[in-house]
Amino acid sequence: MILTEFINKYYAYSLEKLKKCKHQIEKREILKELINNLIKSKIKFTIRQLAKIVKCSRWLISNILLELVKGKQLKKEETRGRKKFEKKHPEIIGQIAQICSDNTFVDKSLKDDIKYLDITLSVIKEKLKSDYGYTEKNCPCENTIRKILTKKLGYKLTKIKKNKVFAKIPETDKIFFNVSCKLKIAMNDPLTVSISIDDKTAKGVGCLSDGGKSWVNKVANDHDTNPDYIVKPFGILDIRENKVNVYCNTSSSTADFKVDCIEHFLQQKLIEIPNLKRLMIFLDNGPENSSRRKLWKLRLIELSLKYNIDIDLVYYPPYHSKYNKIEHFWGVLQRHWNGLIIDTLDKLVGAINSCKWNGKNAKCYLSTETYEKGKKVDEEKLKKLEEKYIKHNVKGIEKWSLLITPH
């Protein structure tokens, strides 16, 4: 008779009792009786087999067996498998310490006395082989080396710090001061609406993975290079209300497209604030909305005259676009649609509409209108309009602070 049949035939009740046991002592007594009867009946079994049937740990069964056969209980340490590498080879700690001695440093700010290591685990492993005669078979693995470094030698794993901005123009501080002053004005003046604008990287629409990850099994095309549409998202963040509008275009994100989006946003705001006096735009110097972009300036002057409002362009300094508030939303949106396969424009709109920013859903607007690239502007006409309607209120940073006023 095999083990499973024997237990199911004679000890089914004991198995039921084992399942209901809440205390270790009671469970131990039931198992002791069961194992004792198995030994007397001379049924062949292994510890692994029995542990699987009765659903108990192998250590517990080993302990009971030893107690029945030799009359003593096992200590937990005695039932462990292989000993740690440093127990078998205590010299390994000194050898690794010697290898690391030339690559150790402490925090330069002296905030702590923790030792840091500027060498990889694979290099340490190779040095153990070359300097101390270890072979591939008896050399400790990288995980063992890591544990020795952190637990025995006191080294600490730390994140690699990002470097400070390496490029900085002389006007940077003055531009930031202008930005902070304009933000205070925008937040305190009820007749001023302030927005932050920016483009997101083009999004391919199709059966594409787009580098995303999903909890469920999904299958995308073999290559991400053949999307059905390439969409250019353009975002407008209402700074005071923390609401985001995302305008998606299947053509190009030109200056014309951006001003059309701003006009759409402005029309909605004029319903809420009919006597609106100023629109303040915080932005970076992108190619289509640069302070030197002629079409951008011409369209904004026309917009200012059409609605009789001031448009204040407040640029962030070069290499510091990460401070533009709308930039933070793009990261949230990327994480939001990371596990989705967006194979239709409807799914794209739905994904953006379901994305939350500061507890509020973003609003997506889709445009399939074609916008012409490289559109030329009448320079003489623009020059006259600039002289009449554009003012530079802050000296020294004229390129980063423009006021368009129809008055």
Q: How confident is the model at residue 19 (pLDDT cuts 50, 70, 90)?
A: confident
Of the listed ranges 57-61, 92-96, 200-204, 381-385, the one predicted with least confidence: 57-61
pLDDT of residue 92: 92
Share of the chain above pLDDT 90, in %: 42
Is residue 79 predicted with pLDDT exceeding 50?
Answer: no
Provide the pLDDT confidence category of residue 395 given band limits of 50, 70 and 90: confident
Answer whether residue 108 shows pLDDT above 60. no
Kindly state the average pLDDT of the residues 6-31: 79
pLDDT, average across residues 266-283 = 94
* CA-to-CA separations, 177 to 173, 174, 366, 403, in angstroms, rounded: 6, 5, 36, 17
In the predicted structure, residue 128 carries a pLDDT above the cut 70 = yes
Of the pLDDT bands very low, low, confident and very high (cuts 50, 70, 90), residue 278 is: very high
Check whether 373 has a pLDDT greater than 80: yes
Task: Residue 314: name the closest of 281, 340, 270 by CA.
Answer: 281
Q: Is 158 helix (H, G, I), strand (E, B) or coil?
A: coil
The whole-number average pLDDT for the span 227-234 is 91
What are the residues facing 96 on neighbouring strands? none
Q: Are 284 and 175 in contact (CB under 8 A)?
A: no
- Look at 183-187, 220-224, 270-274 and tell me which has the smallest mean pLDDT: 220-224
Per mean pLDDT, which range of 76-85, 176-185, 200-209 is the poorest?
Answer: 76-85
| pLDDT number for residue 164 | 62
d(CA 47, CA 32): 13
pLDDT at 294: 93
Strand pairing category for 229-238 and 243-249: antiparallel
Q: Is the confidence at residue 307, as pLDDT, over 90?
A: yes
Predicted confidence (pLDDT) at residue 383 exceeds the cutoff of 80: yes
Q: What per-residue confidence (pLDDT) applies to 119?
A: 83
CA pair distance 331, 183, nearest whole angstrom: 23
Question: Is 294 within 8 Å of 401 (Cβ atoms)?
Answer: no
pLDDT band, residue 81 (cuts 50/70/90): low
Question: Nearest-CA neighbor of 281 among 216, 237, 328, 233?
Answer: 237
What angle in degrees, to the nearest 10, is found between the helix axes of 3-10 and 47-54? 40
State residue 353's pLDDT score: 94
With beta carbons less than 8 A apart as the criterion, state whether 54 and 34 touch: yes
pLDDT over threshold 90, residue 258: yes
For the domain covering 172-404, report its CATH number.
3.30.420.10
Tokens of 119: 């060498």
Farthest-apart Cα atoms in the chain, separation: 109
Tens of pLDDT, residues 339-354: 788 889 999 999 999 9
Best CA proximity match to 8, nearest among 54, 40, 41 = 54
Fill in the amino acid letter for 310: D
Q: Is pTM beyond 0.75 here?
A: no
Has residue 163 got a pLDDT over 80?
Answer: no
Q: How far apart are CA 268 and CA 314, in angstroms?
A: 22
Q: What is the pLDDT of residue 213?
A: 67
Which residues are registered as beta bridge partners of 199?
A: 234
- pLDDT score of 238 more than 70: yes
pLDDT at 80: 52
Return the pLDDT at 78: 44
Instruction: List the domain boundaries for the chain.
Output: 3-79, 85-152, 172-404
Whether 64 and 28 have beta carbons less than 8 Å apart is answered as: yes
CA distance 119 to 142: 12
Q: For residue 396, give the amino acid letter.
A: G
Mean pLDDT of 138-159: 86
At 279-298, the pLDDT tens digits run 999 999 888 899 889 999 99
d(CA 241, CA 253): 25
Residues 6 or more apart whose CB falls under 8 angstroms from that of 190 comprise 273
Round to whole Å and give the CA distance between 253 and 202: 9
- Per the prediction, the chain carries an average pLDDT of 85
